[in-house]
Amino acid sequence: MQSGNPASSAEDTDRMPSGAGSLPGSDTKAAGEVSGKNKRKDGNKDNPAQDSVSETVFKEMVVTGETERDTHYTSPSTRVTRSQIELQNAQTTEEVLKYQPSLQIRQRYVGDPNGVLGIRGADMFSTARNMVYADGLPLHNFLQASFNGAPRWSLVGPNEIDSVDIVYGPFSAEYSGNSIGGVVNIKTRMPRKQEFYVESSLFIQPYKLYGPDQGTFIGDRQYVSYGNRIQDRFTVFLAYNRLEAQSHPQSYFIDNTGLFNEPGGTSVTGGIRTPDTRGTPSIIYGDTGPEKVQTHLFKGKFGYDITQDLQAIFTVAYEDRTRNQNRPRNYVSDTTGQPFWGGAAPACCDTAGNASLDGTRFDVVQRGFGGSQDKRETLNLGLQFRGAFSQNWNVDTTISHFDVLKDTRATAFFNKNDPANTGAGQIQDFKKFSWLNADLKLSTPALFGYEKISLLGGYHFDQYNLSFRQYSLIDYATLTRGALQANRNNDGRTSTQAMFAQAAYRFFPAWDITVGARQEWWSASNGVVGSTPVPDRDVSALSPKVSLGYEPGPWKVRYSFGRAHRFPVIAELFQSLSSPTSILTANALLKPENGVHHNFMVEYTLPKGYIRVNAFRDDIKDAIQQVQRASGVLTSSAFQNIDQTSTTGVELIFDQRRILGSKFDFMFNGTWMNAKVDKGGIVKFTDPTGANADFNLDGKQRIRLPHWRANFFTTYHATEAWDIAFSGRYTSDSFNDLDNRDHVNNVFGSQSDFFFMDFKTSYRHKFQSGLKSRFSFGITNLNNDKAFVFHPYPQRTFLVEAAFSY
């Protein structure tokens, strides 16, 4: 389907690809290896619905577009198309993926800058185990790690997207070991003729969890684009995406360090009693209040056809994003009715506390009530050459540069209404963060004219730069900086060079074998952690790949093996951070992860659908993990290697369009997975009460990795112009603490189970003037399930949307 023109989409004619089994040089050639002269003119004779060029008639309107097939035939994969996206309540790019198998995104609210991604055995905080590309330009953020290492999703407007492929596991030599979980390949559109498009939406969330936090939170989004093809060789696409959203409270102020039934302390009212995730009796005494985010994305893509088969595309994207959280709420008041702001964090955790609720002593920590605000400006530049440069050879070359023009995060130590407020705080300046990526890929579907052998090979280079400074803040209201906190300086650089090659040999009509390898040279240099220089390092590694496939008739069977080395990213090595409530320590001595990965796939093709089962196993040595050392009023964490981890899983996918000739489409996927630490040793740990709680990591379940995930999506095509979609997402609970002692579910801080049901209906209309329109109404979390991903998930949210194109 043509993308970027959502108001006019009709029924999609491409199902999600089979992934494994689509070989370059076979009847269904792979995208990136099929271009220009090498394209089939008759499409896929066995299944015309999978033609790379599709045309759908919607009344008088004709929509055409090219949707490329999956290139990574050694890996299982799924696809989301433009028309499927329109059926979802997707206001941001990451939301497009939320129904895909074995995948979870921690989107705490629409516009969340920390929308981290987890695929299979890569948990949501193992951000460097997944890769995200848009038209070959990296969006994955290896400048940071953990909660703030989310891909830069907002550099792509959701209306730009033509299709998204999710490729599971490190089974292609084309990608580094950062593909342990998987790779998300986003393909955006380029116009074929002059077009205009505009879309606006409004979303509203009534929210109530603990009582004082209740409110109604509103957001809106506008998207405008223009595209044209000029003189048959030049293509231009311009877009602007604006998002403004207000979240529900993201965190709660809680004393779980021990309650005391002793006289003393300031008598207060308003606290909320609750157990914490470990069953400790606790009191919630406030929340961080709503976050307000505003994003402006300006995007330009300029294409030039060098030849009929070779195109150059230049991309420029500028993003301006602000976030503020300046209305923390205090739930407790003293006997005069005035808010009780508490005092400093206790020097030790067994003190009785400065407040008393009905005779129970607890601590109200003054610094928690301070506000915070971020300001970020980024520029992303990319140049791509792609297509056929000879009869049998194709090229795909991409150079991209991402630069953080400005990124500051200010935090106040006092609430503005606190009589003790001095304006003091801190400001973090991510002043010189950037990356440079370059890829050269050459491929042929018939090596030396021999159609049974295809080849893909190339070269990769990347460089990531970090320079971080932290300052005291004299006045939060005016953001007046104070002295540089020299012991917080962090600097460093990482770079990687790689050569890779992958060849497929079809030795019988239904059999193929693929062999590949990736040789990488990685280095870390100029490192400074907390103002202390660290030695430079160099590491090299070879990662072999093998895949064997058999495709008799409608069946597809494939076993894939891959070794993968995942090198530490720059934040894990060099970026130590501190705030009034947490400390995160980098580790410049981290070893690369060293994994062995297997996937066995069986698929049966149905008319307009398929059934697929994947069994997968990952064994990883020296897994990099953020390990919490102390929790409570002040949490302390550090990055370290875990000796040996393993993940075993089974994945089922059923996708069927127009079931039994009806107007219904139905998709279901489910995953069972067991991720554990095989060998980890003793972890030194201090629990919230201040007690020594050292534990043995051996045999523990990996954190934030649920045993069960399942999604379904059903669509009723009431008429050619009217669709009704109903869907659901389920995830079982998981652990948030490495020692697995957080056994209380559905409380703040837990990784709780959830079942979210979603609804959306859309109606399309074409006016006599030629103007096309789409009007939609949706509800996310229709059943209003109250769940947590440490932070509370959004509750029932209403959406209205209108789009027009010409």
Rg (the chain; Cα; Å): 27
pLDDT digits 0-9 by tens, 543-589: 999 999 999 999 999 999 999 999 999 999 998 887 777 888 889 99
With vertex at residue 790, the alpha carbon angle to CA 674 and CA 588, rounded to the nearest 5 degrees, is 75
Higher per-residue confidence, 588 vs 58: 588
Contact 342, 365 (CB under 8 A): yes
Res 347: pLDDT: 53
Contact 91, 760 (CB under 8 A): no
Contact 543, 177 (CB under 8 A): yes
**Which range among 37-46, 221-230, 233-242, 456-465 shows the weakest confidence by mean pLDDT?**
37-46
Nearest to 776 by CA among 802, 757, 796: 802
Res 41: pLDDT: 34
Contact 592, 565 (CB under 8 A): yes
pLDDT digits 0-9 by tens, 82-125: 999 999 999 999 999 999 999 999 999 999 999 999 999 999 99
Res 50: pLDDT: 37
Res 348: pLDDT: 53
Question: Containing H/E element for 641?
Answer: strand 635-656
Q: Taking residues 502-515, report their average pLDDT.
A: 93
Distance CA 221, CA 242 (A): 6
Contact 67, 9 (CB under 8 A): no
Res 350: pLDDT: 54
> In this structure, how many other beta carbons lie within 10 angstroms of the beta carbon of residue 216?
11
Distance CA 287, CA 209 (A): 11
- 32, pLDDT greater than 50: no
Res 155: pLDDT: 95
pLDDT digits 0-9 by tens, 474-488: 999 999 999 999 888
Res 449: pLDDT: 86
Confidence of residue 349 (pLDDT cuts 50, 70, 90): low
pLDDT digits 0-9 by tens, 262-313: 899 999 999 999 999 999 999 999 999 999 999 999 999 999 999 999 999 9
Distance CA 49, CA 166 (A): 20
Confidence of residue 470 (pLDDT cuts 50, 70, 90): very high
Tally the C-alpha atoms within 13 A of residue 552's C-alpha that lie toward its C-beta: 0
Confidence of residue 27 (pLDDT cuts 50, 70, 90): very low
Contact 95, 802 (CB under 8 A): no
Q: Which residue has the tokens 């893909």?
A: 456
- 358, pLDDT greater than 50: yes
% of residues, the chain, pLDDT over 90: 79
**Whole-angstrom distance between the N-terminal and C-terminal Cα of the chain?**
16
Distance CA 502, CA 458 (A): 9
- 605, pLDDT greater than 70: yes
- 17, pLDDT greater than 50: no
Res 426: pLDDT: 94
Mean pLDDT value across the chain: 89
Would you state the structure tokens that stand for residue 699, as one six-digit string?
């045999």
Cα of 312 vs its chain's centroid, Å: 28
171, amino acid identity: F
Phi, psi of 568 (to 5 degrees): -60, 140
Q: Taking residues 153-161, report their average pLDDT.
A: 93
Distance CA 166, CA 158 (A): 16
Nearest to 166 by CA among 78, 105, 284, 230: 78
229, amino acid identity: R
Q: How many helices (H) and strands (E) does the chain have?
A: 2, 47
- 61, pLDDT greater than 70: no
Cβ neighbours for 478, distance < 8 A, ≥ 6 positions apart: none
Q: Taking residues 152-174, report their average pLDDT.
A: 94
Res 355: pLDDT: 94
Contact 791, 248 (CB under 8 A): no
Res 579: pLDDT: 75
Q: Which residue has the tokens 């890779």?
A: 500
- 501, pLDDT greater than 90: yes
Contact 436, 404 (CB under 8 A): no
Tally the C-alpha atoms within 13 A of residue 148's C-alpha that lie toward its C-beta: 12
Question: Containing H/E element for 84?
Answer: helix 82-86
Higher per-residue confidence, 352 vs 220: 220
DSSP helix/strand/coil, 36: helix
Confidence of residue 762 (pLDDT cuts 50, 70, 90): very high
Q: Give long-range contacts, CB 8 A cutoff, 24+ apart: 776-784.
A: 776/86, 776/800, 776/801, 776/802, 776/803, 777/801, 778/89, 779/89, 780/89, 780/756, 781/756, 781/757, 782/756, 782/757, 782/758, 783/755, 783/756, 783/757
Res 629: pLDDT: 80
Res 755: pLDDT: 98
Distances (CA, A) of 26 to 128, 445, 454, 541: 34, 8, 9, 32
Res 29: pLDDT: 34
Res 606: pLDDT: 94
- 34, pLDDT greater than 70: no
Q: Which residues pair with 540 in a beta bridge?
A: 521
Contact 440, 447 (CB under 8 A): no
- 252, pLDDT greater than 90: yes
Please report the DSSP string for 281-333 in residue order: EEEEEEE----EEEEEEEEEEEEEESSSSEEEEEEEEEEEEEEEE---EE--B
- 5, pLDDT greater than 90: no
